[in-house]
Amino acid sequence: MSDPTHPGAPVLEVADLSVTFGSGPSAVRAVRGLNYEVRPGEVLGIVGESGSGKSVASMAVMGLLPPHARVSGSVKLLGTELLGASDKRLAAFRGRTISMVFQDPLSALTPVYRVGDQIAEALTVHQDLTRAEARKRAVELLDLVGIPHPAERATAFPHEFSGGMRQRAVIAMAIANDPDVIICDEPTTALDVTIQAQVLDVLRKAQRETGAAIVMITHDLGVVAGFVDRVLVMYAGRPVEIGSVDEVYYHPLMPYTMGLLGSVPRLDQGERGRLTPIDGNPPSPAALPPGCPFEPRCRLAVPECRLAEPPLRPVRHSRHLAACIRAGEIERGVVTTVPKLPEIPEEGEERPPRESRRVVLGVEDLVKHYPLTRGAVFKRRVGTVEAVAGVSFDLREGETLGLVGESGCGKTTTLMEILKLARPQGGRVVVLGRDISGLVAADRMSVRRDMQVVFQDPMSSLDPRMTVYDILAEPLRAHRVREPGPRVRDLLRLVGLEPEHAARYPQDFSGGQRQRIGIARALALEPRLVVLDEPVSALDVSIQAGVINLLEELKARLGLSYLFVAHDLSVVRHIADRVAVMYLGRIAEVGQVDRVYDTPMHPYTQALLSAVPLPDPVVERARRRILLEGDLPSPADPPSGCRFRTRCPLYKAIGETERLRCVHEEPRVRPMGGDHGAACHYAESLDVV
């Protein structure tokens, strides 16, 4: 297998890698025979959902698994076997020849040491440097990964760095000794999308500087598309498909890969098609089905699939391999996985125009400030965080409004203020025609009944000691429904669960099913408005698609209105009719979803949309990305005038006199034609997706 694009001997060869936790019948085989190799300068993406074994495998390669994990197979780094080597020998490789960037930058640095010293430590372990030399080099590295004022920032402690900056510091550490291989384990998953774009950019730069091979582990098909040369798809601890990124994305040969690609909502596709979820749930690694592990969920399964696990075999040519007995037929186009999609019930007749529909939720100049305090024992107020600083929008009957923005933009605070049903600090909230500041207890009860909420984490919002029946019956009883039994069964059927499962406890269900229970609970009292707080962000894509479809179906069937708070712009495009983009406590842009996504007017929306990676390698490589500089300013000290001006690319492009207006005058949302408005003095449209 020679690679025309990346000649040279492989730097990292992984062969038949297996990892088992525990022993006996309860043993969990997290990784079951992983093979791959990367050559100098090559980027390999390893894609899989949670539980596929992708992260465990990378820890095994680094030799960082806890001692009770049993690892077998072979990991060769520059021809040297790493498995079974002593900690001392491995330590000599780690950080020098092979280094790693981890998922959660917030906890990846030791809190008690200065950032510069931690990078210097990575140097001094492997090189004979004096303290001063190592410090100097650490500052250079911080500069390389784009930390402003590196000499100064090197003396800061990790808690003084934002998440994006910490990830840069971790990358600086990883490239400190000019390694041959860098393993990146979900390096941007914990970051906001504009910061993700920055960090990916830094990684590209780091790769250019070091010429290292990169193994990029992620669940995000978009991140992989534009970043890697080859992709390896993992399922149930095994590679199921491997090939060049274009081949795998455009001509997948394994039904699982096809399902995965079909279930991602896409930022660049406006038509309201249904997503194609993969049925069922990933198998538990402790109880794999016989034969092909994907068989219970596979739409193309035939009886032979049950007989033996299909090996990973070359299909199209020697460099595109798939583990499926029907891969040949798929290749020739004899069979496809295009499924029969459940019909979306038509939304009645033609919907009346927006203006004539009733406003179910009206928010006007909503304000929420928090005091900012210092000190553990003696708290003193040192400032005010303007979490929400004058937000207005309305949500009309039968529509979905997506409220999007990065962390710290105030979307969650806005939602909490609405749910509180108490007089806001400033502004007005009107739910179903009633101003919430004037509610007495009895009114509040009836408004609660009409406005329900679904939270992000299905596990923590369901009481583990209650059966599903009790969870669903509770709101009914609270509102004096005598016989909740039949209604509970209806609700379970409504959200696609078996009514017989009512006697089970939440922990007996998978993440997606739990979220369905959460939705059923919200629907128990037949509300008219449902507030959804990141309802699918904790779910894997293949499961997420099913929940999104369910939400759309329920909305059409029951005539619901949704306020959908999310950070995932692709999901919002898919589900929302209108979208409001928030930045630092204010609305930057609002309007009909296709207008905002296709012709974003506000420079922030433009940058945000351009930062979202698309699961389409060719498009992704050709895309122009607007990189925002720096981090979100502190909401305790927002910039004067336009809050976005410190990072605004347009602000940099305009003349001195125009800038004055941005500095001194706060832009209000101004109509941009049709149902579309942007809060920018100089808004113009730009094609970014």
Partner 1 sequence: MAGFLARRLINYVALIVVATSLAYMLAASALDPRSNYEARRPPPPPAVVDARLDELNLNNKTPVFQRYLRWSWSVLHGDFGKTTVGDPVNADLARRAGVTLRLILVGLIVGSVAGVLGGALAAVWQYGWFDRLTTAASFLVLAVPTVVLANMLIIGAVWFNDLVGAQIFLVSGETTPGLEGGFLRGAADRAQHLLLPTLSLSLGLIAVYSRYQRNMMLDVLGADFVRTARAKGLRRSTALTKHALRTALIPAVTYFAFTFGALIVGTTFTEKIFGWHGLGEQLINSIFTNDVNTVAAISCLAAFGVLVAALASDLMQAALDPRVRVG
Does the protein bind partner 1 through residue 131 (CB under 8 A)?
A: no
Element (H or E) spanning 70, and its range? strand 69-77
Whether 301 and 254 have beta carbons less than 8 Å apart is answered as no
Does the protein bind partner 1 through residue 94 (CB under 8 A)?
A: yes
The residue written with tokens 């959804």 in the block is 532
Tell the burial category of 340 from Cβ atoms under 10 Å away from its Cβ (0-12, 13-18, 19+): exposed
List, in sequence order, every beta strand (DSSP E) within 306-450: 313-314, 321-322, 359-374, 380-396, 400-404, 426-431, 434-435
| End-to-end Cα, the chain, rounded Å | 36
Rounded to 5°, the CA angle 42-249-321 comes to 70
Q: Which does 376 bind (CB under 5 to 8 A by kind): ligand SF4, partner 1, none?
A: partner 1
* x-marked contacts with ligand SF4 along 240-279 as a string, rule CB under 6 A: --------------xx------------------------
Does the protein bind partner 1 through residue 5 (CB under 8 A)?
A: no
Least separation, in Å, of the C-beta of 124 and partner 1?
10
Of the residues 46, 71, 206, 298, which one makes contact with ligand SF4 according to CB under 6 A: 298
**Edge-to-edge strands, sheet with 400-404:** 451-454, 529-533, 561-566, 400-404, 578-583, 586-592, 676-678, 670-671
* x-marked contacts with partner 1 along 585-604 as a string, rule CB under 8 A: --------------------
Does the protein bind ligand SF4 through residue 680 (CB under 6 A)?
A: yes
Of the residues 17, 28, 49, 102, which one makes contact with partner 1 according to CB under 8 A: 102
Q: Which stretch binds partner 1 (CB under 8 A): 155-163, 428-436, 552-560, 647-655?
A: 155-163
Least separation, in Å, of the C-beta of 201 and partner 1?
22
Q: Which stretch binds ligand SF4 (CB under 6 A): 543-551, 561-569, 593-601, 640-648?
A: 640-648
Q: How many CB atoms lie within 10 A of CB 125?
A: 15
Q: Which stretch binds partner 1 (CB under 8 A): 174-182, 219-227, 269-277, 666-674?
A: 174-182
User: For residues 99 and 515, which CB has a smaller minimum distance to partner 1 in the complex?
Assistant: 99
Tell the burial category of 496 from Cβ atoms under 10 Å away from its Cβ (0-12, 13-18, 19+): middle
**Edge-to-edge strands, sheet with 28-38:** 28-38, 12-21, 69-77, 80-81
How many whole angstroms separate alpha carbon 648 and alpha carbon 651?
5
Residues 590 to 609: which contact ligand SF4 by CB under 6 A?
603
Of the residues 88, 480, 482, 624, which one makes contact with partner 1 according to CB under 8 A: 88
Q: Which stretch binds ligand SF4 (CB under 6 A): 171-179, 189-197, 350-358, 641-649?
A: 641-649
User: For residues 294 and 597, which CB has a smaller minimum distance to ligand SF4 in the complex?
Assistant: 294
Q: Which does 170 bind (CB under 5 to 8 A by kind): partner 1, ligand SF4, none?
A: partner 1
Look up residue 394 and give its two tokens: 């309305």
Does the protein bind ligand SF4 through residue 421 (CB under 6 A)?
A: no
Does the protein bind ligand SF4 through residue 315 (CB under 6 A)?
A: no
Q: Which does 62 bind (CB under 5 to 8 A by kind): partner 1, ligand SF4, none?
A: partner 1
Of the residues 69, 125, 556, 654, which one makes contact with partner 1 according to CB under 8 A: 125
User: For residues 166 and 266, which CB has a smaller minimum distance to partner 1 in the complex?
Assistant: 166
Does the protein bind ligand SF4 through residue 409 (CB under 6 A)?
A: no
Question: Quick one: the chain helix, strand, coil %, rounded to 5?
Answer: 35, 20, 45
DSSP-derived secondary structure for 221-273:
HHHHHHH-SEEEEEETTEEEEEEEHHHHHHS--SHHHHHHHHHS--TT--S-P
Q: For residue 596, which phi and psi values (nearest 5 degrees)?
A: -65, -40
Does the protein bind partner 1 through residue 126 (CB under 8 A)?
A: yes
How many whole angstroms separate alpha carbon 387 and alpha carbon 371?
10
Look up residue 276 and give its two tokens: 């194609």
Q: How many CB atoms lie within 10 A of CB 407?
A: 14
Does the protein bind ligand SF4 through residue 650 (CB under 6 A)?
A: yes
Q: Which stretch binds partner 1 (CB under 8 A): 120-128, 298-306, 556-564, 678-686?
A: 120-128
List, in sequence order, every beta strand (DSSP E) within 448-513: 451-454
User: For residues 268 and 684, which CB has a smaller minimum distance to ligand SF4 in the complex?
Assistant: 684
Give the total of residues touching partner 1 (CB under 8 A): 40
Least separation, in Å, of the C-beta of 105 and partner 1?
9
- Provide the b/e sequence for 77-97 (b: ≥16 CB within 10 Å): beeeebbebeeeebeebbbbb
Whether 312 and 240 have beta carbons less than 8 Å apart is answered as yes
Of the residues 245, 522, 584, 648, which one makes contact with ligand SF4 according to CB under 6 A: 648
* Amino acid present at 647: R
Does the protein bind ligand SF4 through residue 145 (CB under 6 A)?
A: no
Least separation, in Å, of the C-beta of 95 and partner 1?
3
Look up residue 308 and give its two tokens: 């033996």
User: For residues 101 and 278, which CB has a smaller minimum distance to partner 1 in the complex?
Assistant: 101
Least separation, in Å, of the C-beta of 202 and partner 1?
17
Q: Which does 368 bind (CB under 5 to 8 A by kind): partner 1, ligand SF4, none?
A: none
How many whole angstroms separate alpha carbon 528 and alpha carbon 530?
7
Does the protein bind partner 1 through residue 256 (CB under 8 A)?
A: no
- Provide the b/e sequence for 540-577 (b: ≥16 CB within 10 Å): bbbbbbbbbbbbbbbbeeeebbbbbbbbbbbbbbbbbb
Handedness of CA 198, 545, 556, 337 (dihedral sign): positive
* x-marked contacts with partner 1 along 333-372 as a string, rule CB under 8 A: ----------------------------------------
Of the residues 29, 96, 297, 595, which one makes contact with partner 1 according to CB under 8 A: 96
Does the protein bind ligand SF4 through residue 238 (CB under 6 A)?
A: no
- Provide the b/e sequence for 296-329 (b: ≥16 CB within 10 Å): bbbbbbeeebeeebbebeebeeeebbbbbbbbee
* x-marked contacts with partner 1 along 375-404 as a string, rule CB under 8 A: xxxx--------------------------
Least separation, in Å, of the C-beta of 676 and ligand SF4?
16
Element (H or E) spanning 121, and its range? helix 115-126
Does the protein bind ligand SF4 through residue 411 (CB under 6 A)?
A: no
User: For residues 226 and 293, which CB has a smaller minimum distance to ligand SF4 in the complex?
Assistant: 293
Look up residue 95 and give its two tokens: 């950080």
Which positions lie near partner 1, rule CB under 8 A?
62, 64, 66, 87-88, 91-96, 99-100, 102, 104, 107-114, 121-122, 125-126, 157, 159-160, 170, 173-174, 176-177, 374-378
Which positions lie near ligand SF4, rule CB under 6 A?
254-255, 292, 294-295, 298, 300-301, 305, 310, 324-326, 603, 642, 644-645, 648, 650-651, 662, 667, 680-682
